[in-house]
Amino acid sequence: MKKKIFISPILAICIMALMSSCEDSLEAPTKSSLDEQVIFSTPVLAEGALMGIHQSLAETNSYRGRFIPFYGINTDIEWYNSSENTNDDRAKLTAYDPLPTNTQMNMENNAWAKMYEAIERANLCIRGLRLYGNVEKNQELAQIYGEALTLRAMIYNDLVKAWGDVPARFEPISPSTLYLPKSDRDVIYKQIIADLAEAENYVPWPNETSVTQTTERVNKAFVKGLRARICLAAAGYSQRPDGTIRRSNDPDLTVAKLYPIVKQECIDVIESKTCKLGTFEQNFRNLCQDNVTAGLESLYEIPFSDGRGRVLYTFGVKHTTTDKYTQQAQGGQNGPLPYVYYDFDKDDIRRDITCVPYEWTNGKQVPRKLSSWCFGKLRYEWMKRVVTSTNDDGVNWQCMRYADIYLMAAEAINELDGPEAAAPYLKEIRKRAFPNNPEKVDAYMASAIASKETFFNAIVNERALEFCGESLRKADLIRWNLLSAKMNEAKA
């Protein structure tokens, strides 16, 4: 069962108290410390403060309606299905043309504002728990502390992906820090990598405690996976303020320094045996059916209540009319590029789950144009409940799944130890994709390990096939410095 994330009385009290504390810190500090001491020494109140971070992510123009639908779209495998409409500000967000006047972002409560609101709430949690939580001895408060560190790291990573260098605010706002300039992204990367190393000490493995029995709460597998993902990004390429595209010059953010961390974090998760791959389709059915049981493929999901979130609305198979499956005629806003279907081997079970050539009209499947196919990983027809809202569907956003752990491990180990050492991790993903054709898996792996470069290219291609429609591709291509080359290939 999903846990409903809404503004409960406890959450409302905590948010008001903390916001009051923030204001008081600019005027009368004595009251602030008392509020924090009560909240962050009491598990149920501290948890309410933590839920305030989630609440910021679910706001209309935050992750819910802006970052999730638009950031990761327009790559060599994914696009917004109305990208050609030059008058559509949503298309401009996905097509690398977000002008200051864009009506989807030009507002006070846009994604940027809500992400920094979430960060301020995380900062308040972290400070309060460090001062009053006794996190070394109180497991409940330790979990909340580790979660706050992790959510802050996740949000900062997303800010850097979308905006590059951004203000680094790791303490609650004070008079001297009310206005901050941009910081070098390397400063942020180093801080959040260290924060996640700390969080690992406080957050248990999936199902190790009652809290980590659900994918709507942070667990150690996700913390380690997120740290691996951020290390890959920090060691990778990005466009710097002077226009150059390069890796970091910081000696602490080199491939030699960070890839061993990626390797170890991923191996730790795999060897913990706290997660399972299962079948490719089942993971997405679980998402559609609100199955948030930890220990399966999903490592962490941004939680939405039934009447919040636009995941199916944006990424689901299109329903042009209401029918027995849904009272929401939505889906199909984003979809695969026309040729992606043909990139899959005909025996790859991921193909027909990922690329859907039809939409639903009056309860029947109707073919769609090749240029507007749907992603098929999320489907109203797989749900156990019927969506009645016209705007939101309540399906969680999956931030990371276990397959990513294997492919990050394969990528890092190939770089450090060569393709033969990395091969078993890639092979696990290929085996699942070809359950009825083991001979194809063996033949593919035999060719993939020919050289380090060949294996790297196999990883580049595998991540496209495995994660199409999950908004990971853009960040991958940027960190590999392949965005331009792959986009040009897609246009050819």
Instruction: Report pLDDT digits (tens) over 257-279.
Output: 999 999 999 999 999 999 999 99
pLDDT for position 100 = 86
Would you place residue 3 in the very low, low, confident or very high pLDDT band (cuts 50, 70, 90)? low
Higher pLDDT, 346 or 91: 346
- Tell me the C-alpha distance between 365 and 105, whole Å: 35
pLDDT value at 255 more than 60: yes
pLDDT higher than 90, residue 89: no
Residue 202 has pLDDT above 50, yes or no: yes
Residue 255: both structure tokens together: 């491939």
For the chain, give the percent of residues with pLDDT over 70: 93
User: For residue 86, what pLDDT is reported?
Assistant: 76
Instruction: Check if the beta carbon of residue 58 is closer than 8 Å to that of residue 308.
Output: yes
Mean pLDDT value across residues 332-342:
95
What pLDDT score does 31 carry?
A: 52
Q: Please give the share of the chain, as a percent, with pLDDT higher than 90.
A: 84
pLDDT at 474: 97
Q: Where are the beta strands (DSSP E) in 60-167?
A: 78-80
339 pLDDT above the threshold of 80: yes
The reported pLDDT for the residue numbered 25 is 45
Buried-state track 49-75, b at ≥16 Cβ within 10 A, e below 16: bbbbbbbbbbbebbbbbbbbbbbbbbb
Mean pLDDT across the chain, nearest whole number?
93
Q: Tokens 């559609």 appear where? A: 288
Residue 15 has a pLDDT of: 54
Q: Name the nearest CA neighbour of 280 among 451, 434, 149, 449.
A: 434
Does pLDDT of 83 surpass 90? no
What confidence score (pLDDT) does residue 95 get?
78
pLDDT category of residue 138 using cuts at 50, 70 and 90: very high
Q: How far apart are CA 359 and CA 332, in angstroms?
A: 8
Amino acid 479: pLDDT:
99
Judged by average pLDDT, the poorest of 174-178, 362-366, 421-425, 434-438 is: 174-178
Label residue 7 by pLDDT band (50, 70, 90).
Answer: very low
C-alpha closest to that of 463 among 424, 406, 414: 406
Average pLDDT over residues 300-313: 95
Q: How confident is the model at residue 145 (pLDDT cuts 50, 70, 90)?
A: very high
Q: What's the confidence (pLDDT) of residue 152?
A: 99
For residue 229, which amino acid is it? R
Q: Given pLDDT bands bounded at 50, 70 and 90, which one contains residue 295?
A: very high
Question: Which domains are assigned to the chain?
Answer: 15-57+110-203 (1.25.40.890)
pLDDT, tens only, 8-62 = 555 555 555 555 545 444 444 445 555 999 999 999 999 999 999 999 999 999 9
Mean of the pLDDT values across residues 417-426? 99
pLDDT for residue 226 is more than 70: yes
Report the pLDDT value the prediction gives residue 18, as an integer from 0 to 100: 57
Whole-number pLDDT of residue 383: 98
Distance CA 149, CA 144 (A): 9
Q: pLDDT at residue 424 above 90?
A: yes
pLDDT computed for residue 30 by the predictor = 47
User: CA–CA separation, 409 vs 55, rounded Å?
Assistant: 33
pLDDT beyond 80 at 299: yes
Q: Which class for 352: exposed (0-12), middle (13-18), buried (19 or more C-beta within 10 A)? A: middle
